[in-house]
Amino acid sequence: MEERFPVVPARSPESRRITSLLGQRRVSGLAMVVVLSAALLFGLIGFAVHILWIVAIVAVALGLGYVVAKGPRQVSSRVVSWPCGGR
């Protein structure tokens, strides 16, 4: 049978420092929930404003199209004839 030795990772001073820094909590849970909630709220407001810009652009385009379509038309009273006398 094979002997199994426990695997102990060799830790350098840098990895111990990183582990200790990651293990420390500097922000309370409530503060983190408040910050993330505010970020979500502002993100949703930004998305809504972005959608309103798109709606405004479409409304202006439709309005301008309506104005151009209903504007005064230049009707020519000239009779169009074939060149060379219509022959």
For 7-52, the pLDDT digits (tens) are 556 678 888 887 777 776 677 888 889 999 999 999 999 999 998 9
Among 7-16, 61-70, 75-84, which is the least confidently predicted range?
A: 75-84
Buried b / exposed e across 27-56, counting CB within 10 Å, b at 16+?
A: eeeeeeeeeeeeeeeeeeeeeeeeeeeeee
What type of residue sits at position 60?
Answer: V
- Alpha helices, DSSP H, located in 4-28: 13-23
Q: Quote the pTM value.
A: 0.42
